[in-house]
């Protein structure tokens, strides 16, 4: 295996060889719903139930989730995207999209614990409350306590029957489908 130079491009290339799931992260700030597509989401702990997401600092989503004097206590949601949700992932990854009406073409509902937007077509979701936010280079690592969990009823204790139930993944800089 040839060594690569320590450059941004080489780092992106190597990091892109790690397959990840794709989620939409949501929060509320200043009277607006905010969202972003993320591949840097993972669970952290079972007791207490914790998960994290990494948020680029130079974005309005970062301002919404981590702005203010302390992000601790900020509430947010995770919607795990299905394999057929590439348009959804692409839309919420679009920088500069309007805040007003950004959810209009995507079925959604409000989380019962936090009131944040959750995508109704997701295969699973959770609501969280920030417990810590740590700078990590050009991102912030946001850890949250899980407040609620949900999974698509058709997937409880079952393997998906069609593409809709499989997760959307990201590998080699492209969205992928695990079902084939």
- Please write the tens of the pLDDT for every residue from 91-136: 999 999 999 999 999 999 999 999 999 999 999 999 999 999 999 9
CATH topology of domain 20-165: Pnp Oxidase; Chain A (2.30.110)
pLDDT attached to residue 162: 63
Output the CA angle 60-66-71, nearest 5 degrees.
Answer: 155
CB atoms within 10 A of CB 73: 9
Q: Are 178 and 92 in contact (CB under 8 A)?
A: no
Closest residue by Cα to residue 92 from 44, 18, 22, 149: 22
Residue ranges per domain, the chain? 20-165
pLDDT attached to residue 156: 61
Report the C-alpha dihedral over residues 83, 85, 90, 91, rounded to 10 degrees: -170
Dihedral sign (CA 166, 170, 176, 180): negative
Query: Each residue of 42-99: pLDDT tens digit?
Result: 999 999 999 999 999 999 999 999 987 778 889 999 999 998 999 999 999 999 999 9
What DSSP designation does 164 have? Answer: G
Largest CA distance in the chain: 51
Closest residue by Cα to residue 23 from 59, 65, 51, 63: 51
Distance between CA 122 and CA 166 in Å, rounded?
Answer: 10
Dihedral sign (CA 123, 175, 37, 101): negative
pLDDT band at 1 (very low <50, low <70, confident <90, very high): confident
Dihedral sign (CA 11, 12, 16, 17): negative
Distance between CA 54 and CA 70 in Å, rounded?
Answer: 17
């Amino acid at each position: 295996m040839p060594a690569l130079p320590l450059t941004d491009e080489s780092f992106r290339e190597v990091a892109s060889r790690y397959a990840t799931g794709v989620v939409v992260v949501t929060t509320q700030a200043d009277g607006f719903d905010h969202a972003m597509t993320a591949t840097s989401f993972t669970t952290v702990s079972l007791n207490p139930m914790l998960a994290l997401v990494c948020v680029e600092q130079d974005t309005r989503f970062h301002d919404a989730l981590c702005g203010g004097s302390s992000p601790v206590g900020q509430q947010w949601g995770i919607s795990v995207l299905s394999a057929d949700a590439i348009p959804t992932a692409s839309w919420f990854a679009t920088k500069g999209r309007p805040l007003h009406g950004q959810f209009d073409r995507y079925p959604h509902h409000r989380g019962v614990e936090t009131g944040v937007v959750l995508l109704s077509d997701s295969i699973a979701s959770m609501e969280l409350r920030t417990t810590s936010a740590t700078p990590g280079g050009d991102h912030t690592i946001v850890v949250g306590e899980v407040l609620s969990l949900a999974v698509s009823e058709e997937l409880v204790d079952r393997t998906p029957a069609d593409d809709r139930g499989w997760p959307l993944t990201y590998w080699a800089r492209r969205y992928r489908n695990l079902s084939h």
